Amino acid sequence: MNRPTTLAAISAVSLLASALQAAPTLIYSNDFEAPALASEWSANYRRIEDHGSFSIFNGRYSQGWTGLTMNAPALGSPAGPAGPGTSVVARYTLVFDLYIIDSWDASNWYGGYDHFLVSVNGNTVADWGFTTTGGQQRNPFTASQIGNLGFAETAPDAIYRNVTLTFDTTPGQNLFIKFFDQNLGGVSDEGWGIDNVKLYGEALRVPTPSVAMGLGAGLTLAMRRRRTS
């Protein structure tokens, strides 16, 4: 048995297990139902619908954006074993409802590739294409509702509940989370909004990239040797 390789594999599994067992903390939540504008949002337009499909939400936007600014949250002591070859990251999980309004064309060349994007401190962490007019979706989600939900009668709308993405930053960094679009034709043609925004955070101790690659290679090698022994 190659003991160093096996120990490296065990260390990799231990670090990954510790990260999975960490419990994120809810550090921000907003359903946009409060009458006052929220100062942490760079733009906070709202539309109240007279039916049950849409509540008050942050929108509607087209060829535009809205952004959430937060001071660096206190995430507590990092989870995971300390030791050489590890570093600490601030890991966030962002959850929100996304409203895709009117005639989005994710894959129709004549309509353009209609994107919805999210960036964190200037770095894009999500880039998804949506369509309400047929064709290929370019996102991993399933709409909770789709149909003529209250906007233009000539095109359906779609509601995506609990859209979730995870990203890491350096601990102690302030956050600027930007929601924006590309290739939309204006609110008379296609638009979007967000609602029920939640942000969870935790401090994690993880393998540095070079160590993670080495541990992963060691784990693979150990498994191969075990199968052939």
Domains and CATH numbers, the chain: 24-76+86-206 (2.60.120.260)
State residue 20's pLDDT score: 45
- Give the residue-averaged pLDDT of 115-142: 93
Tokens linked to 64:
């535009």
- Give the residue-averaged pLDDT of 74-101: 90
State residue 14's pLDDT score: 46
- pTM, entire model: 0.79
CA 84, distance to chain mean position in Å, is 30
Q: What is the largest CA-CA distance in the chain?
A: 69
Q: Are 41 and 66 in contact (CB under 8 A)?
A: yes
Radius of gyration, alpha carbons of the chain: 22
Tokens linked to 34:
């409060």
Residue 84: which of 24, 2, 8, 19 has the closest Cα? 8
Residue 69 has pLDDT above 90, yes or no: yes
Beta bridge partners of 96: 163
Residue 14: which of 91, 83, 80 has the closest Cα? 80
Q: What is the mean pLDDT of the chain?
A: 82
Residue 224 has pLDDT above 60, yes or no: no
